[in-house]
Structure 1
Amino acid sequence: MDLNRTPAQIANAAADEIRTLNHRTIDRKAFEQPGDVAATVEALTRLVQGLPQSLQQLEAGLNKLHDDQRIRLDDLPPEAVSQQEMRRRVVTVTSALQEARVTLSRLDHQLKWAVAPLSHMGGLWEGDEDE
């Protein structure tokens, strides 16, 4: 685990890996056995399960930056930015992150529904293909 990267670098690396997965699985031959599908869904489930914590920590980070008055807006002149306007924008972001966590919870639930039957699927026994 390389903790010397910025959070954005880590998130970009994760996004690149998902893009690689998407390209790799375009070919239906990427999965030789049902277990390959199951293992991939299980790994994606773990990824989804980790995202709510990431989003919660992003929210905490933004709130800390706001509390420390370390945010500026580049779409308004400084004299036009009130604390109320700044707070409104921070709340917009944190509310969206909270809703994303709810959505991820539903996604996690659906992935678990997929994993359950997948865990009982196996490939054909040797010789079954000939029958």
Structure 2
Amino acid sequence: MDLDRTPGQIAYAAAEEVRTLNHRTLGLDRIAFENPPEIGATVEGLLALTDRLGQSLQQLRAGLQQFDEQQAIRMDDGSDPASAATKALRDLLNAEQGLGVMRASLRSAGEAVSHMGGHFAPEDEEDSAVV
């Protein structure tokens, strides 16, 4: 864990990893997943990501709230920062609540996918036959 980077640098690195996942799972010229359990593992990974994003959003709100309370925000256009801070805090809370819906859906999908397996290849079926 490299804590020498800024929060923004860490967030962009996480976004780049999701971009890599998106490219890896395109499946246009190859099958993106070997079997259904790989999809389940990916769903579980995304669930862990969304769980951690919730904490990130809470901490962003707390940091912005502290700057607002200390009146330590200046707007680059000279406007009053209070309404912008209020809007940003509300939008961050909305994002956190929306993420809760996403987590619930991923959890439900993960439960269904966790019971899935792939088909046996014909030679595997012969090997598994009771003699």
Q: TM-score range by the shorter chain?
A: 0.7 to 0.9
1:23 matched residue in structure 2: 23
Structure 1: gaps spanning 5 or more residues: none
1:103 matched residue in structure 2: 98
Question: Which of 118, 122, 127 matches 2:117?
Answer: 122
- Identify if the C-alpha distance between structure 1 residues 33 and 67 changes in structure 2 by more than 3 Å, giving closer, same or farther: same
What root-mean-square deviation, in Å, do the aligned CA atoms of Structure 1 and Structure 2 show? 1.9
- Identify if the C-alpha distance between structure 1 residues 42 and 128 changes in structure 2 by more than 3 Å, giving closer, same or farther: farther
- The higher relative CO (CA closer than 8 Å, separation ≥ 6) is in 1
1:65 matched residue in structure 2: 67
Structure 2: gaps spanning 5 or more residues: 127-131
2:129 matched residue in structure 1: none
Q: Map of 1:41-80 to 2, 5 A cutoff?
A: 41-76=43-78
The CA deviation at 1:128 is 6.8
Please give the secondary structure, in 1, of the residue aligned with 2:31. helix
2:39 matched residue in structure 1: 37
Please state if 1:3 is matched with 2:42: no
- Identify if the C-alpha distance between structure 1 residues 26 and 129 changes in structure 2 by more than 3 Å, giving closer, same or farther: farther
- State the TM-score, normalizing by the size of structure 1: 0.86
Would you identify which runs of 4 or more consecutive aligned residues in structure 1 move more than 6 Å?
Answer: 128-131
- State the TM-score, normalizing by the size of structure 2: 0.86
Q: Percent identity?
A: 46
